[in-house]
């Protein structure tokens, strides 16, 4: 019988790089860097869903379909994260 793989999922905070405003709380899976945020994994969205920072109005992501699921494709350098483990 096959063993179930342990899912490495944790909640991270995603902030605007320009004004340090909290944008999302997100359930991140895996160990890699933040490239995309699947919409169904976003726990708390403080942007209103328009993919711009509510304070400085900088665009930080684009809406894409990845594997048939809607996702926010992060523009690198526009956000930083807290809660990710670096190995």
pLDDT in tens, 40-52: 999 999 998 899 9
Using one digit for the tens of pLDDT, what is the confidence trace for 7-20? 667 899 999 999 99
Q: How confident is the model at residue 5 (pLDDT cuts 50, 70, 90)?
A: low
**DSSP E strands: which ranges in the chain?**
9-16, 22-29, 36-38, 42-45, 61-66, 69-74, 79-82
Spatial strand order in the sheet of 22-29:
42-45, 22-29, 9-16, 79-82
pTM, entire model: 0.85
Over residues 15-35, mean pLDDT? 94
């Amino acid at each position: 019988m096959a063993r179930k793989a342990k899912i490495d999922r944790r909640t991270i905070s995603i902030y605007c790089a320009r004004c340090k405003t909290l944008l999302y709380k997100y359930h991140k899976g895996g160990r890699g860097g933040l490239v995309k945020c699947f919409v169904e994994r976003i726990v708390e969205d403080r942007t209103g869903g328009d993919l711009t920072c509510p304070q400085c109005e900088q665009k930080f992501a684009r809406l894409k379909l990845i594997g048939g699921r809607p996702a926010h494709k992060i523009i690198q350098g526009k956000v930083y994260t807290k809660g990710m483990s670096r190995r």
